[in-house]
């Protein structure tokens, strides 16, 4: 979809990008990463001709971008940046239809698109459409920025640290949303970041750059397991095994047949339940299947009263979402001192759980998984 051939950008004596060759297949997320000044943003901005390369060629959909009018080219490439750059004098709705307006869509189509996109990025259209950028939180502004980039349904999205300016919690939520949206839309995405965890979580392929040169271009697994050189090894960090967990989704490995009891069951009645013999924890769910707490059989065995064995929890705090990564699940477990953690859907309904041994198994399996990916090729040194 996007192909760079020997692209070089020179500022006076400085080489910002040094004969970069890169092939980004359609429908994949390519993350450009590297230390600051490595040329990743310059590379991105050359793709929509905000910066003109000194030499080399860039092809989008087999067309040399040089042959296209810059404005025409850019209207076909969604663009989202860290500082968002929402137009402060326009409402959220007006901001979103910036490109459709340039493309002269009719009013009904634009109105429908605003509603569709706000829903897609998880903002209630009726509430947000008429707001002004100043009235948005950082996370909301970033969502609107993404919606604006998607407005004319461009096949390609260029994103320059789009989640860089928000707090870590919001960033994780935005990343999860991005994964969800990308799963449906299958855009070709070029994503610049300096956050290794973000790259591992979102990328189909990572292009690691340094001093304007490409160090390695491969899947996250390949980069973690077989770094091309010491720089790649060091940049990805010492906790590579842990990082690999960021690639595995909880829903892929969770146990689904968890023992549950209705939360209205009286504690005293649980004593006699046979399930206590097999399982240490019984999850308590309410009438609609929402996680309400758990019952610890071991406490009972130690001679504690039934009430002390019963723990009520808020699912928002003591469980992980099914689209969370194993890394998040592990960090939650360590935080609370659990040996296993419940998995819930967006409404809090219990889907299953993940236990430490499962994570250990996933860590071990990672190697074979990567080995399999190796066989499929696509990874280049």
Binding site for other proteins (CB under 8 A): 45, 48, 50, 70-76, 79, 81, 83-91, 98-99, 102, 132-135, 145, 148-149, 158
Closest to other proteins by CB, 132 or 231: 132
CB of 132 vs other proteins, minimal distance in Å: 3
Closest to other proteins by CB, 87 or 336: 87
Closest C-alpha to 326, from 224, 378, 248: 248
Residue 296 forms beta bridges with which residues?
Answer: 281
CB of 184 vs other proteins, minimal distance in Å: 22
Whole-number Å distance between alpha carbons of 152 and 97? 8
Closest to other proteins by CB, 84 or 166: 84
Q: What is the DSSP string of 80-104?
A: EETT----TTS-HHHHHTHHHHHTT
CB of 371 vs other proteins, minimal distance in Å: 40
Closest to other proteins by CB, 143 or 148: 148
For tokens 């842990």, name the residue: 242
Closest to other proteins by CB, 71 or 347: 71
Structure tokens at 117: 């996109």
CB of 162 vs other proteins, minimal distance in Å: 11
Question: 61, 188 in Cβ contact below 8 A?
Answer: no
| CA-CA-CA-CA dihedral for 365, 369, 370, 372, to nearest 10 | 140
Neighbours of 251 (CB within 10 A): 16
CB of 134 vs other proteins, minimal distance in Å: 6
Instruction: Give the phi and the psi of residue 208 in degrees, each rounded to 5.
Output: -95, 125
């Amino acid at each position: 979809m996007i192909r760079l051939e020997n692209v070089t950008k020179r500022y006076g004596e400085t080489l910002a990008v040094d004969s970069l060759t890169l092939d980004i297949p359609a429908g994949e997320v390519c993350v450009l990463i590297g230390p600051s000044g490595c040329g990743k943003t310059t590379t991105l901005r050359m793709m929509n001709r905000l910066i003109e390369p000194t030499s080399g060629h860039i092809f989008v959909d087999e067309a040399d971008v040089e042959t296209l009018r810059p404005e025409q080219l850019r209207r076909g490439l969604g663009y989202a940046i860290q500082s968002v750059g929402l137009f402060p004098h326009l409402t959220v709705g007006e901001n979103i239809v910036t490109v459709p307006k340039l493309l002269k869509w009719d009013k009904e189509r634009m109105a429908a698109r605003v509603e569709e996109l706000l829903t897609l990025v998880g903002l209630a259209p009726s509430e947000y459409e008429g707001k002004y950028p100043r009235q948005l939180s950082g996370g909301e502004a970033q969502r609107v920025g993404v919606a604006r980039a998607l407005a004319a349904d461009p096949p390609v999205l260029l994103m320059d640290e789009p989640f860089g300016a928000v707090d870590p919690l919001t960033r994780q939520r935005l990343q999860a949303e991005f994964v969800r949206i990308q799963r449906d839309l299958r855009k070709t995405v070029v994503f610049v970041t300096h956050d290794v965890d973000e790259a591992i979580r979102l990328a189909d392929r990572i292009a690691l750059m340094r001093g304007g040169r490409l160090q390695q271009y491969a899947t996250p697994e390949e980069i973690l397991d077989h770094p091309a050189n010491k720089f790649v090894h060091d940049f990805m960090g010492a906790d590579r095994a842990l990082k690999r967990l960021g690639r595995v989704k909880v829903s892929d490995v969770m146990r689904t047949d968890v023992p549950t009891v209705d939360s209205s069951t009286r504690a005293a009645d649980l004593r006699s339940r046979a399930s206590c013999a097999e399982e240490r924890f019984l999850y308590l769910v309410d009438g609609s299947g929402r996680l309400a707490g758990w019952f610890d059989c071991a406490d009972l065995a130690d001679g504690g009263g039934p009430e002390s064995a019963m723990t009520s929890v808020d699912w928002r705090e003591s469980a992980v979402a099914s689209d969370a990564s194993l890394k998040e699940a592990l960090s939650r477990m360590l935080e609370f001192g659990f040996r296993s953690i419940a998995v819930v859907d967006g409404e809090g309904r219990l889907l299953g759980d993940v236990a430490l041994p499962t994570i250990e198994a996933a860590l071990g399996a990672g190697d074979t998984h990567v080995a399999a990916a190796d066989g499929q090729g696509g990874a280049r040194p």
